[in-house]
């Protein structure tokens, strides 16, 4: 394997080692009763996307503010937590702890 290929492979391994997955809750600034739960690898960019109207589910309640973001090293754990927050008991948990 060439030195360039080894360097690329090493960089890829390091990036994956530090990859974080985030579950976030947004609250509408214009209508505080509205909230949105999502999953992303880049919270700042995702908030910009929501506020720019790139997401059809959130465009009508813009602008959005970040209420909380919870980070996970494991993608599957983040997706499971997102699913939980979208369930009835997860919504109750979020309203008690994150509002």
pLDDT digits (tens), the chain, 99 positions: 566 555 565 555 555 567 999 999 999 999 999 999 999 999 999 999 999 999 999 999 999 999 999 999 999 999 999 999 999 999 999 999 987
Residue identified by tokens 């492979």 is: 9
**Tokens, residue 58:** 């959130």
Residue 49 burial (CB count, 10 A): 16
Q: For the domain that residue 29 is a member of, what is the CATH number?
A: 3.40.1440.10
Distance, CA of 91 to CA of 95 (rounded, Å): 6
Distances in whole angstroms, Cα of residue 27 to Cα of each of 5, 46, 52, 65, 83: 45, 14, 15, 5, 18
76, part of any domain: yes
pLDDT for the residue numbered 15:
54
Distance, CA of 58 to CA of 34 (rounded, Å): 9
- pTM (predicted TM-score): 0.81
pLDDT tens-place string over residues 14-35 = 555 679 999 999 999 999 999 9
68, part of any domain: yes
31: domain range? 20-97
4, part of any domain: no
């Amino acid at each position: 394997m060439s030195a360039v290929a080894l360097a690329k492979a090493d960089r890829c391994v390091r990036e994956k080692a530090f990859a974080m997955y985030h579950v976030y809750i947004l609250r509408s600034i214009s209508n505080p009763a509205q909230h949105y739960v999502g999953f992303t690898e880049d919270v700042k960019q995702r908030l910009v996307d929501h506020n720019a109207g790139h997401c059809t589910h959130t465009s009508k309640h813009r602008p959005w503010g970040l209420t909380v973001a919870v980070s996970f090293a494991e993608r599957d754990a983040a997706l499971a937590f997102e699913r939980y927050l979208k369930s009835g008991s997860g919504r109750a948990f979020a309203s008690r702890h994150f509002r």
